[in-house]
Chains A and B, each alone.
Chain A
């Protein structure tokens, strides 16, 4: 039974409306980044730049606004995010294997703990973590920041990966065990390749978390040459709140990798996030 024509037209029009509202702010960011200053502050704004320019991107990349080159922030952000992904991914996989494959005492306790610690507001933890890192003289260091990010990425990583580990048929591991493979060999040769897609999804998630994080980076890192991209953005914005060209160019450079990654794994993110909420 097909819906009447007017209803299909109305639904599609609503769909287009939703698309426009959702995508417009990001479109406007990119469009502003390419506009010369005259067009940015024009009294009749145009959707697209009339005379597109790369000047704003240039001033972001060569560091003439922040004093430090974009690539320095970029390298710091990438280093922090990659270290977070590798460390938290490894630890999460081990723990996820335990909860998905074994029944043991405190298993439920551990799962509830994972849920609860995810909810503790990081805004509350910033004070004690700041004091601890200060006392350990790790305040202005990327290592301290990575440690904190691993802590925040880990509970969700375990929670998400356990579903992927549980999805691997046990029979495969049992067959490998019958053939005489040890636990380590089973882990690396049987489990790891099969869990890889889940590991990729979880990794992208923790990458984005670390890449986007602002509060801890802002509080812990005081030197511009140690700072990550969100700090660069805040620095631009705080110092020259009206210089929208470079600010939007910097925002674009921060955002596009995230959107690209996101589109890559969105299916698995959704399935991981609502796992348990939807009955199978």
Chain B
């Protein structure tokens, strides 16, 4: 089921870099072909980025929606958020969550990938099927299912913790509210996000493992090295590019988590905000919309993510040559 023999991989990037003498269409051909995509990307992705950059220096409210010109306020928006303790609370939530969730996702995903790789044909298909179910679940459904699993009344987790001996987990779980304070909220969020994200890591690691020649492990075993040693001596170095890509993608995804936190905790629960929820709430959370301030927060978020992306792009380009 999880046969990862890949049609894509069979075509080395070199193919596309053959000399241009084979070209037989007019010179404008490729430009015309990418033009529609460029226009769409420009209008819907690049222009809005320019706009948040500009709006982060302006005071933009409901009036500007009707076409009134916005007032330039210089760095006031940035000064306001960077000088506000609440911004730093949301910043801390964002970073801590990303660190914990990324580490847990990579760890769980890698272990599951290694496990599936060692199982027999039928068993690995069975396990991969279950893993795919978690992968395919829409973020909004996942958030709602975990809200239900961790529900105060009738929630399965509270029932389970309450049924366990008190010596193990303490007492008072029967009506425990997981969404009252930030720490339990983020605990549930982390479990939910790791559950949704580990399949991608597992499947990518598995695809990588299938490219490692078996002889390497056999040679290592003959030399008497343990499973732990062969992982760090063979698997990890060979899959290092995959781990790099997975790390960066996970950081980017987990840094901007929105839907799950929005569903679990909501706009009313300011204590549990992260950066994206904070920015969204400044712009859309009240009748007194502060789009400029929201934009400044969005710019901070974007800059962090783009910084990580720059590392990612360098990595991919290095791997693919120029293709």
In this complex, what residue of B is CB-closest to A108?
A: B322
Cα–Cα distance between A42 and B263 once the two chains are bound (Å):
25
A11 touches B119 (CB 8 A): yes
Please give, as numbers and ranges, the residues of chain B lying within 8 Å of A211 by CB-CB distance. 138
A258 within 8 Å of B (CB atoms) = yes
Cα–Cα distance between A151 and B143 once the two chains are bound (Å):
25
Q: Considering the complex, which residues of chain A in the window 232-265 have a beta carbon less than 8 Å from any beta carbon of chain B?
A: 233-234, 237-238, 242, 244, 247-248, 251, 254-255, 258-259, 261-263
Cα–Cα distance between A54 and B159 once the two chains are bound (Å):
25
Please give, as numbers and ranges, the residues of chain B lying within 8 Å of A126 by CB-CB distance. 280, 283
Closest 8 CB pairs of A and B: A151-B44, A262-B136, A271-B6, A124-B298, A19-B130, A98-B33, A163-B8, A128-B51
Query: 14 A-B pairs, CB-CB below 8 angstroms?
Result: A28-B149, A103-B17, A114-B41, A116-B313, A121-B298, A121-B302, A126-B280, A127-B294, A167-B7, A233-B140, A251-B145, A263-B136, A271-B7, A275-B9
Cα–Cα distance between A44 and B174 once the two chains are bound (Å):
12
Is the contact region of chain A dominated by helix, strand, or loop, or is it mixed? helix
A61 within 8 Å of B (CB atoms) = no
Q: Considering the complex, which residues of chain A in the window 5-25 have a beta carbon less than 8 Å from any beta carbon of chain B?
A: 11-12, 14-16, 18-23, 25
A180 within 8 Å of B (CB atoms) = no
CB < 8 Å: which of B148, B211, B276, B316 contacts A279? B211
A115 touches B313 (CB 8 A): yes
CB < 8 Å: which of B19, B37, B124, B145 contacts A28? B145
B207 touches A119 (CB 8 A): no
CB < 8 Å: which of A115, A116, A124, A212 contacts B139? A212
Rounded to whole Å, the gap between the CB of A224 and the closest CB of chain B is: 17
A278 touches B48 (CB 8 A): no
CB < 8 Å: which of A125, A130, A263 contacts B49? A125
Please give, as numbers and ranges, the residues of chain B lying within 8 Å of A102 by CB-CB distance. 20, 23, 25, 29-30, 33
CB < 8 Å: which of A15, A130, A152, A270 contacts B207? A270
B144 touches A237 (CB 8 A): yes
Please give, as numbers and ranges, the residues of chain B lying within 8 Å of A42 by CB-CB distance. 154
Q: A95-B33, A102-B23, A121-B302 are in contact. Are A251 and B313 (CB under 8 A)?
A: no
A117 within 8 Å of B (CB atoms) = yes
In this complex, what residue of B is CB-closest to A168?
A: B11
Q: Considering the complex, which residues of chain A in the window 103-134 have a beta carbon less than 8 Å from any beta carbon of chain B?
A: 103-104, 107-108, 110-117, 119-132, 134
B141 touches A254 (CB 8 A): yes
> Given A94-B36, A147-B44, 7 other A-B contacts at CB below 8 A?
A28-B149, A95-B36, A98-B30, A115-B313, A155-B41, A170-B22, A244-B148
B interface footprint on A150-164 (CB within 8 Å = 1, 0 otherwise): 111011001000011
Please give, as numbers and ranges, the residues of chain B lying within 8 Å of A261 by CB-CB distance. 136
CB < 8 Å: which of B2, B10, B127 contacts A15? B127
In this complex, what residue of B is CB-closest to A268?
A: B7
Instruction: Count residues on chain A whose CB falls below 8 Å from chain B CBs.
Output: 116
B153 touches A266 (CB 8 A): no
> Measuring CB to CB, which residues of chain B are less than 8 angstroms from any residue of chain A?
2-4, 6-13, 15-20, 22-25, 29-31, 33-34, 36-38, 40-41, 43-49, 51-52, 55, 60, 64-65, 67, 112, 115-116, 118-119, 123-124, 126-127, 129-142, 144-149, 151, 153-154, 156, 159, 195, 199-200, 203-204, 207-208, 211, 218, 221, 241-242, 245, 252, 255-256, 258-259, 262-263, 266, 276, 279-280, 283-284, 291, 294-295, 298-299, 301-302, 305-306, 308-310, 312-313, 316-317, 319-320, 322-323
Q: A117-B41, A129-B44, A163-B11 are in contact. Are A110 and B130 (CB under 8 A)?
A: no
Please give, as numbers and ranges, the residues of chain A lying within 8 Å of B308 by CB-CB distance. 119
Please give, as numbers and ranges, the residues of chain A lying within 8 Å of B242 by CB-CB distance. 274, 277-278
Please give, as numbers and ranges, the residues of chain B lying within 8 Å of A276 by CB-CB distance. 13, 316, 319-320
A97 within 8 Å of B (CB atoms) = yes
Please give, as numbers and ranges, the residues of chain A lying within 8 Å of B258 by CB-CB distance. 123, 215
A148 within 8 Å of B (CB atoms) = yes
B40 touches A219 (CB 8 A): no
In this complex, what residue of A is CB-closest to B147?
A: A237
B7 touches A12 (CB 8 A): no
Cα–Cα distance between A147 and B39 once the two chains are bound (Å):
12
Rounded to whole Å, the gap between the CB of B316 and the closest CB of chain A is: 6
CB < 8 Å: which of A12, A97, A113, A129 contacts B33? A97
Please give, as numbers and ranges, the residues of chain A lying within 8 Å of B319 by CB-CB distance. 276-277, 279
Please give, as numbers and ranges, the residues of chain B lying within 8 Å of A18 by CB-CB distance. 112, 115-116, 127, 130-131
In this complex, what residue of A is CB-closest to B208?
A: A278
CB < 8 Å: which of A45, A108, A131 contacts B159? A45
A279 touches B241 (CB 8 A): yes
Cα–Cα distance between A29 and B144 once the two chains are bound (Å):
9
A192 within 8 Å of B (CB atoms) = no
